[in-house]
Structure 1
Amino acid sequence: MEVLIVGAGSMGTWFGGAVDADVTFADVDPVAASAAAEAVDGHVTELEGTDSYDVVCIAVPMAHVVDAIATHADRAERALVDVSGVMEPPLEAMARHAPSLERVSLHPLFAPERAPGSIAVVREESGPAADALLDALAARGNDLVETTAAEHDEAMESVQAATHAAVLSFALAAEAVPEGFETPIYAELRNLVETMTAGTPRVYADIQETFDGAEAVAEAAADVAAADADELATLYREAAARWQSNARPPDEADSATPNDDGTGGDNP
């Protein structure tokens, strides 16, 4: 099977190495295309080329995926796939520009260097070519999570937009502390900050522009900052009721059991 991968960044390179196919890369940066091809023993072609392939995989940033599909859909003979990270817009574009082809949207829920992992999958119009690619991904140890475009994009508001906003806000608001003063919660957040800030800023900016979620984090932080002691206790119990399976309702009193960050309960 011959596969054209439009976009030779980390995700496009990962896809090229993860599928059992003869892969060719096209990118606005010819040097990046050559590097990706060398990494997976593939080939390079011009971004403006007219050559066709069994499958075209769009591996460009979210902000450009719809335009890339419109530009390159006619180079696919059997299937169109994207790994952009958002699903509703690219699938709508695929249906518009390639209604007769197999159409699948994938979102690897991990950084390429941490593969294998979970991959969200929407088979809008499946078939032999797309199934062969998905089988290859599963054979490499990835867990294919079947979903819908709407379910995926709604989940990303929490999984990505809200989560990233919360971690970045902590990174900007908190200060480094002397050795020995760290609590388990602080240390976990610091580790998340270190992981997140080792990435690419544009990726996180694209996520915030694409998905809602940051506003809810800002509103919750404002509620916490404005709360008095009783209101904060209520917010704490509301959070516990949402996330802790054995939590008591918000109107029940807290126990005096110390918290995992070393602080005491409400009634020490």
Structure 2
Amino acid sequence: MKRRGHAWRAFNLTLGYLFLYAPIACLMVFSFNASSLMTSWSGFSLKWYHQLAGDQALLNAAWLSLRIALLTATAATIIGTWAGYVLVRMGRFRGFALYIGMLSAPLVLPEVVLGISLLLLFVETSKTLGWPDGNGMFTIWAGHTTLCVAYVAVVIQSRVRDLDRSLEEAALDLGATPLKVFFLITLPLIAPALAAGWLLSFTLSLDDVVIAAFLSGPGYTTLPLEIFSRVRLGLRPEINALATLFILLVGIFVVLANILQRRQRS
């Protein structure tokens, strides 16, 4: 019976992994396909990587998305860390319910509503203050950061709530200031959560279509928007090559995050 149970669990686990990762593996394999048909294998070739190097529009869109994702992940992690820390450690204060509601709003609002509201905000500020001067990288970054801060705050909040406060209290008793305790004790303890929040924000920003569609301007087309615009004419295999490069990049980040978590546990 035990062997059957182990075999059944192994079968379910294998089936789950195949369901999740088989499409990604197929995409990576077909990025080396010599044929221009994305569903027909005709031999190994690197020509689509060479064509990708010459596709300036696609590379510009990828570079813009990568820059926005890096900036968004960093800003959302900084702001979301303070927001999550306040939720756990500052107790209830005047306006606490409003604070939670405003922080959680991006989690429950449809992205269409969030995109329209941010677009109207930037239009009005542009009319009143003359800034920003049209939609572009800043407006996309601001929209993505608004969305991602809520996710980071949830991750940090759960981690801070589980911390053993004895180390922080001991440091305070020895004369350390609250700010010093936060940076030297609390922050290292929640480092795995910081890495998780950063990776989540990076992925959300890199993958976003709706908010970027509302907040992008001429000359600022992100990678998802560029890909969706090309779907009408049919996808080319160089998209597979670019996706493979991004998968490898994100995989490196995930491995580094796992190494950080293991070091933290040991």
Band of TM-score, shorter chain: under 0.3
Q: Scaled by the length of structure 2, what TM-score is found?
A: 0.24
Which structure has the higher relative contact order (CA within 8 Å, separation 6+)? 2
Higher strand share: 1
Q: Scaled by the length of structure 1, what TM-score is found?
A: 0.24
Higher helix share: 2
